[in-house]
């Protein structure tokens, strides 16, 4: 059994989210978080956390970015997908930072050490979507709070991650995709990108099979608008991660749409009751009700 506790950390004014292992009491996190803040490289700016997990030189490379964050020049990219689908690994390769994959229990924002185009990126790593509605609402709240801290910036692109090794689309993968689509809104168009991951783990003898699955996903699921389908393959390498990011700076892409969740967070707020009113929040509840019906 997992305990999930989320609360406000009064001294620094940021929200915290923690997953406690079975048997631990959910009253420790304030203390624990305090220790984490003291002992790790945690940068706080305007209530926004910029995590850096590695060396001093990388730490310094993040410091000037604080100023850049204030200037609002980067393209904000939101990553969504189930746990283990490769979001944090993608960030590691896209940013050149040694980001720890072990547990993503709250949202963090990363900036590539070397810009790959005229504009740099701010990439939001998010906790993985789950099969439980309560967990997914918690993830949505984390995302909503990060978006409201980033305001007046808005999300310029979103990426959905799916492990190609999982094969054809399961029920929970479908429901994660439905949540992603409701986070984006249908008019987000090509600003929503779909990535199949783990290509470097596919058996070379079965590449045809996985290519077929990839094409099927592209044909039937991986798009917001049927006219254009930005779908990529990722095999845990920097070149592919950067290729995906380059999509967002392609001059042919009109990056003029606002993420539906961004608009809804402005309207309903980033509290749990606020995110329940968003389209993604409603989608989470709808899929929970569907599952309950199946069980009954």
56, burial (CB in 10 Å: exposed 0-12, middle 13-18, buried 19+): exposed
CB 74 within 8 A of CB 249: no
- Distance, in Å, from the CA atom of 162 to the CA atom of 26, rounded to the nearest integer, reads 32
Residues 156-175 close enough to bind ligand GDP by CB under 6 A: 161
Would you count residue 104 as binding ligand GDP (CB under 6 A)?
A: yes
Would you count residue 197 as binding Mg ion (CB under 5 A)?
A: no
- Distance, in Å, from the CA atom of 202 to the CA atom of 225, rounded to the nearest integer, reads 29
Would you count residue 191 as binding Mg ion (CB under 5 A)?
A: no
Number of residues that bind Mg ion (CB under 5 A): 3
- Hey, what are 85's tokens? 């689908």
Q: Which of 85, 88, 136, 146 binds Mg ion (CB under 5 A)?
A: 88
Would you count residue 269 as binding ligand GDP (CB under 6 A)?
A: no
Of 80-88, 152-160, 216-224, 269-277, the segment contacting ligand GDP by CB under 6 A is 80-88
Residues 102-131 close enough to bind Mg ion by CB under 5 A: 104
- Hey, what are 17's tokens? 């989210």
Report the b/e string of 264-295 with b at 16+ CB within 10 A.
bbeebbbeeebbbebbbbebbeebbeebeeee
Residues 107-136 close enough to bind ligand GDP by CB under 6 A: 128
Would you count residue 200 as binding ligand GDP (CB under 6 A)?
A: yes
User: Which spans of this chain sit near Mg ion (rule: CB under 5 A)?
Assistant: 87-88, 104
User: Which spans of this chain sit near ligand GDP (rule: CB under 6 A)?
Assistant: 81, 83-89, 101, 104, 128, 161, 197-198, 200-201, 234-236
């Amino acid at each position: 059994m997992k305990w999930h506790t989320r609360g406000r950390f009064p001294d620094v004014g940021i929200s915290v989210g923690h997953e406690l292992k079975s048997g631990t009491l959910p009253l420790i996190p304030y203390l624990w978080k305090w220790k984490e803040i003291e002992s790790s490289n945690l940068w706080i700016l305007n209530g926004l956390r910029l995590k850096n997990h590695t060396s001093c030189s990388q730490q310094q490379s993040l410091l000037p970015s604080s100023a850049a964050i204030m200037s609002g020049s980067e393209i904000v990219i939101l990553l969504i997908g189930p746990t283990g689908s490769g979001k944090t690994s993608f960030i590691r390769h896209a940013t050149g930072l040694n980001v720890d994959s072990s547990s993503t229990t709250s949202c963090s924002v990363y900036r590539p050490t070397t810009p790959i185009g005229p504009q740099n990126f701010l990439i939001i790593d998010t906790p993985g979507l789950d099969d439980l509605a309560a967990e997914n609402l918690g993830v949505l709240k984390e995302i909503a709070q990060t978006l409201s801290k980033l305001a007046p910036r808005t999300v310029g692109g979103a990426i959905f991650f799916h492990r190609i090794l999982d094969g054809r689309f399961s029920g929970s993968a479908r429901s994660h995709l439905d949540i992603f689509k409701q986070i984006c809104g249908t008019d987000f168009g090509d600003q929503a990108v779909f990535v199949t991951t783990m290509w470097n783990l596919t058996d070379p003898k079965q590449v045809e099979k996985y290519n077929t699955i990839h094409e099927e996903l592209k044909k039937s699921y991986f798009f917001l608008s049927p006219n254009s389908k930005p779908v990529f393959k990722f095999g845990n390498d920097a070149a592919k991660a950067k290729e995906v990011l380059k999509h967002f700076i392609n001059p042919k892409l009109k990056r003029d749409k606002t993420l539906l969740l961004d608009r809804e967070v402005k309207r309903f707020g980033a509290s749990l009751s606020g995110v329940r009113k968003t389209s993604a929040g409603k989608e989470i509840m709808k899929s929970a009700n569907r599952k309950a019906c199946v069980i009954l």
